[in-house]
Chain A
Amino acid sequence: MLADALLLQLGYNATLVTIGAALLGIASGVAGTFLFLRKRALVSDAISHATLPGVGLAFVVMVAMGGEGRSLFGLLLGAGLSAAFGLLCVQWLTDRTRLGEDAAIGAVLSVFFGFGIVILTVIQTMNAGRQAGLEGFLLGSTAGMLRSDAILLAVSAALVLALVVILRRPLGLAAFDPGYAEATGWSLPRIDLAMMGIVLVVTVVGLKVVGLILIVALLIVPPVTARSWTERSDHVVIIAGVVGGVSGYVGAASSATAPALPTGPIVVLVGFAIFLFSLLFSPRRGVLASLLTHLRYQRRVHVRQGLLALAQGQPIYEVLTRRLLERAGLVLPDGVPTPAGQAAASKALLDETRWAIVRGDQAYALAATRYDGLTPIEDVLTPDQLTEVDGKIDAPQVVA
């Protein structure tokens, strides 16, 4: 069943929804990346919640003009306008009052959402037009997805990708170093406006698929996931697009396998699964990798300290140190160093002595910055420099 779904064999509507969700995932992953890098990810939450009154008001206006109030384009236009207004409110509160952006987001999000719910409730009692389906904007509803909806998603995704390609330099610069961006003549307000415009487009077209409450997950989860895998912002954008696309595709296909599974939430859960995997297992930034690196580093420190203690004839108290030295064949179980242990100990002591001279001498200031207690000095200085350093050791230290 799932295999059929993934191969788009579950009928016309399921295929439309799957392709549409994949396109939305790509667009939102790419658009969300710069929001995340600029540390303004939560603004998207304010934007999405601010769409709701627009949806309701657009319905009312269309009914008042004699229509059924079901035109998706009309509803999305309303959503876009009220989201833009909500965004302006956040911006104004942040710039012109003493409120921080977090407070501004909280205020706008809740007030707009509350107002939207009031309008939807009033509409339900109005008994005019065909209001059924407006709740679909809250959590998404893909059951009645039309070909035109999928085309709208495709066009929007293409637009978002084109804009990001064109604006990638200012967007990246503003996220990394806004002060420098302004000093070199890029207008920060205009860059931010463009970024928010892109996010707004994704949010509005994504309403029908995942709903306004969950769209924020599609904007934030892919870039955060992508960040685990790379140290380059241009790669973050690409990986985030892929993660978003895969989440949309797999999530929508899985939800098509059973009638009761809602598309939007499943898409978000698939994205979260990829995120969780990346968080734990990505090679450099993952939790597991960090833990291993830390343990490896801790062991090196213990061995080094143990060797220095041996060289100076001091007792080793720490159990871990003793065990590590023993396992490496550097000491015998009774704590007496083996010949290999003695050699390593004198080597460590010589290294420390040389480092002490290097760190105390202005002439080696650059090399001294590489001291970390572990790096052998041969890795930093040339043989000639080493000879010079050795000449400054007053009495060559020999380990008995």
Chain B
Amino acid sequence: MNISLVTSQDTDLATRAASPLAVRGMTVSYGQTPAIFSVDMTVRAGAMTAIVGPNGAGKSTLLKAALGVIAPLAGSVTVFGEPMADMRDRIAYVPQRASVDWDFPVRVIDVVMMGMYRKLGLLGRIRGQHKALAQECLGRVGMADFAHRQIGQLSGGQQQRVFLARALAQEADIYVLDEPFAGVDAATEKAIIAVLQGLRDAGKTVLAVHHDLATVPDYFDDVLLLNTQVVAAGPVAEAFTEDNLQAAYGGRLTTARADPESVAG
């Protein structure tokens, strides 16, 4: 009995070391009720994983806690087996579009350049190679012609693509996206999913909060069903079942299917 316990711990350690992003026992609370409770998540390398769950399930909270944007009550995060703090350069982040003031005085190309601030440091000069990379990232999301526009002049979908270009400019191994398809047009959704699939095919790891149940099987390889706690996790074929969805959404399942935006957030 004792021995098997040790063995299972060992395999857990091994999977964590191999995982680009592993979360253990994560609990976050705003006030007295936990937004997420004791969440374990082991993201598979080279796969696209969706975090899915009803409104208020803690999807965005899980992402933010995993990235250290909000402080958890309990829990640890490892990136390829190392502590998160040492591995930040390996992770690119696309926040929710609504989290930003779009009247801010900044041009599209400057936003993309922000993805290189870690590499540039405080005083590193922006050189031709950096500008070329920024322009190339804009090209990959179909926004090359918009480099010198003020970001407020773009449509919602275009803004989302600029955020994705900024993440690409980080040249990371893991791409974490918070509701990348919320409130964007169909053309943008297609463009974004193509870029993400391209990243996966190049061996990168993608983790996204997603709200449209209908497209989960088409877009993603793995899924984590969340409702404060983890309801199910694994490859879409195994975890994305009717029973698990029922357990995660309860009575809201029909609504979630009919109007995905209603459970966004």
Contact = CB atoms under 8 A, between A and B. Distances in A.
B95 A180 contact: yes
A304 to B, nearest CB: 21
A183 B105 contact: no
5 contacts: A176-B111, A180-B93, A182-B69, A184-B117, A232-B107
A145 to B, nearest CB: 35
B193 interface: no
B211 to A, nearest CB: 19
Contacts of A287: none
How many of chain B's residues touch chain A, expressed as a range? 35 or more
Interface string B80-94: 000001001101010
A166 interface: yes
Interface string A175-204: 111011011111000000000000000000
A184 B107 contact: no
Contacts of A175: 104
A70 B109 CA distance: 53
Given A166-B123, A177-B114, A227-B105, 6 more contacts: A176-B106, A179-B93, A182-B69, A186-B117, A365-B187, A369-B155
Contacts, number: 83
Given A176-B106, A177-B100, A369-B187, A183 B123 contact: no
A167 B122 contact: yes
Given A169-B122, A369-B155, A177 B95 contact: yes
Interface of A is mostly: helix
A184 B170 contact: yes
Contacts of A257: none
Interface string B100-140: 11001111001100100110101100000000000000000
B88 A185 contact: yes
A176 B117 contact: no
A291 B27 CA distance: 52
B5 interface: no
B99 interface: yes
B24 interface: no
Interface of B is mostly: mixed
Contact of B95 (A37, A183, A233): A183
B72 interface: no
A294 to B, nearest CB: 16
A227 B155 CA distance: 22
A260 to B, nearest CB: 40
Interface string A214-251: 00000000000001001111011000000000000000
A231 B107 contact: yes
Contacts of B110: 232-233
A316 B172 CA distance: 59
Nearest to B107: A232
B88 A179 contact: no
Contacts of A235: 105
Interface in B28-49: none
A184 B185 contact: no
Contacts of A129: none
Interface residues of A, number: 29
A183 B118 CA distance: 11
B69 A179 contact: yes
B186 interface: yes
Interface string B221-245: 0000000000000000000000000
A169 B114 CA distance: 8
B68 interface: yes
Contacts of A166: 122-123
Nearest to B96: A179
8 A-B pairs closest in CB distance: A185-B88, A231-B150, A365-B187, A183-B93, A366-B187, A183-B67, A182-B69, A179-B95
A74 interface: no
B64 A179 contact: yes
A173 interface: yes
A362 interface: yes
B157 interface: yes
Contacts of B106: 172, 176, 231-233
A136 interface: no
Given A179-B64, A183-B91, A185-B88, A170 B99 contact: no
B118 A185 contact: yes
Interface string A349-382: 0000000000000100110010000000000000
Contact of B114 (A180, A232, A236, A369): A180
Interface string A30-69: 0000000101000000000000000000000000000000
B105 A232 contact: yes
B105 A236 contact: yes
Contacts of A177: 95, 99-100, 114
B101 to A, nearest CB: 7
Interface string A294-332: 000000000000000000000000000000000000000
Interface string A141-181: 00000000000000000000000001101101101110110
A232 B150 CA distance: 8
A117 to B, nearest CB: 37
A369 B122 contact: no
Contacts of B95: 177, 179-180, 183
A10 to B, nearest CB: 38
Given A183-B95, A365-B186, A176 B68 contact: no
Given A176-B106, A179-B95, A232-B106, A184 B187 contact: no
Interface string B55-66: 000000000100
A173 B68 contact: no
Contacts of B64: 179, 183
Nearest to A37: B104
Contacts of B100: 176-177
B122 A176 contact: no
